[in-house]
A = this chain, B = another copy of it.
Amino acid sequence: MDDRRSAARRDGERRAAREGQPVPPATVGRLPGYLRALEVTASEGAVLTSSDELAARAGVTPAQLRKDLSFLGSYGRRGIGYDVGHLREQITVVLGLADVRRVLLVGVGNLGHALANYAGIADRGFVLVGLLDVDPAVVGTTVAGLEVEHADDLRAVVRRTGATIGVLTTPAAVAQGVCDELVAAGVVGILTFAPGALRVPAHVDVRTVDVASELQILAFHDRARSVGGGAS
């Protein structure tokens, strides 16, 4: 459609990636894995890496890795490989981790408690800014350095903290209700551990982690193995 010349091409592609949508969902889903693989590589002191090495670390094929990275705008050098630090930085920017994201957690039961203390959150570009629950035995206690507030104050807490991401570890029965409140308060991303589909407006992104579902999927393959049986 647009008739640019050779010199501008590479920059144009990078710009497109930076400004935009065109990174396919499947690719986005793999970027965190690449980032982690790069961190491991960096921790070993390597400055350069190859699609072969990085793909092996991330558990994908080299072709897949190169294709994925091409959507971000091509940060490697032919014949040489990828600069570990630079690529790491680029993926960090694309994933939106250059700015710290503020996270709110609702439901400080067993699982919520464990997640609040989970290093993976704080270490990877997120800050936990609030904890909410309805249980009077929990509200007011300190968990992971934060005082648990009452879920009735959800709206005020979102406003005060500027949280944009909510983690839902409530019982399934109240998940949709809390979800609605989070959305009304302005949260745009929700990670839920409650089973069952959540209804949200189009501008809100939901990711569901359902432990029981995961086990059931494993059970399917376990069964298929015994039923299909024996030799190939």
List residues of chain A with CB under 8 Å of any chain B CB.
18-21, 23, 28-29, 31-33, 35-37, 40, 57-59, 94-97, 99, 101, 103, 109-111, 113-115, 117-118, 120-121, 123-126, 164-165, 188-191, 195-199, 203, 205, 207, 209-225, 227-228
Contact = CB atoms under 8 A, between A and B. Distances in A.
A29 B215 CA distance: 11
A67 to B, nearest CB: 18
A32 B189 contact: no
List the 3 closest pairs (A to B, CB-CB), nearest first: A96-B223, A59-B197, A189-B218
B228 A189 contact: no
A94 to B, nearest CB: 7
28 contacts: A19-B227, A20-B227, A21-B228, A31-B216, A31-B217, A31-B220, A32-B213, A33-B213, A35-B216, A36-B195, A37-B196, A37-B197, A40-B196, A94-B220, A97-B216, A103-B215, A114-B114, A121-B211, A126-B215, A126-B219, A164-B222, A165-B219, A188-B222, A188-B225, A191-B214, A191-B215, A191-B218, A207-B214
A188 B223 CA distance: 10
Contacts of A225: 188, 203
A224 to B, nearest CB: 7
* Most B C-beta atoms less than 10 A away, residue of A121, A190, A197: A197
* Most B C-beta atoms less than 10 A away, residue of A23, A120, A191: A120
Contacts of A203: 225
B219 A189 contact: yes
